[in-house]
Amino acid sequence: MNTIAIDVRPRALTGTGVAKKIRRAGLVPGVVYGHGVEGNVNVAFDPRSVVKGLSGAYGRNQLFTFEIDGKQHLAICRQVEVHPVSRKLSHVDFFAVQPDTRIKVTLPIRLTGRSAGQKAGGRLDVTARFVNVHTTPAHLPTSIDVRLEPYKNGQLLGVEALPFPEGVTPVFRQAFKVFELVAPKVVKVEEVDPKAKKKK
């Protein structure tokens, strides 16, 4: 389980004016809720480690650890707000979780290699780049990885056939296509009899 420790401080005051003061101090306002948290706890945090974590391999699924009132928490970001111009963090909702409790996350589908179909001139038609799954923080992967090498033209991969790691199950109401390998179009060229040309 990959976690990043961050500095989180409870705050009693709320409101737009308070949020501006927090940002001027180099911090970012946020809220913590979920397992082990009574109601919603308003906080301020140092954004540097959070930005680094959200920019890493786990992206929005990065797990963070922090202490509030002497109690340790494990949390994932449920909502991240950024300034429309500066693109700096402006607010984060932290959802407290347990290592063995199932949560719902969105994982990227990472396609690696070059398929046999592409090598034969085919086209890789990708229709889904993300998949919603249920997993636990202890089993949380960075992505669902698919090796393309074995796939030939005319083959497709459905979400139900993705290689989900142990402890990860898909969340979908109906199956959908992830990608398809489309064979190249064959243009028929009519052969002209040279003797027929001479007769004309």
Q: Which fold has domain 104-182?
A: RNA Polymerase Alpha Subunit; Chain A, domain 2 (2.170.120)
Amino acid at 74: L
- Region 93-107: what's the mean pLDDT? 96
Burial of residue 157 (number of CB atoms within 10 Å: 0-12, 13-18, 19+): buried
Q: Which residue has the higher pLDDT, 188 or 97?
A: 97
Whole-number pLDDT of residue 69: 86
Q: Which fold has domain 3-97?
A: Ribosomal Protein L25; Chain P (2.40.240)
Whole-number pLDDT of residue 18: 82
Amino acid at 19: A
- Rounded to two decimals, what is the model's pTM? 0.85
Residue 64 has pLDDT above 60, yes or no: yes
- Region 9-33: what's the mean pLDDT? 87
Residue 137 has pLDDT above 60, yes or no: yes
Per-residue pLDDT of 150-197, as tens digits, reads 999 999 999 999 999 999 999 987 889 999 999 988 766 666 666 655
Per-residue pLDDT of 41-62, as tens digits, reads 999 999 999 999 999 999 999 9
User: Could you tell me the sign of the dihedral formed by the alpha carbons of 94, 98, 103, 109, in that order?
Assistant: positive
Q: Which residue has the higher pLDDT, 64 or 184?
A: 64
Q: Are 104 and 132 in contact (CB under 8 A)?
A: yes
CA angle (72, 75, 79) in 5-degree steps: 145
Residue 130 has pLDDT above 80, yes or no: yes
Whole-number pLDDT of residue 63: 97
Where exactly are the structural domains of the chain? 3-97, 104-182
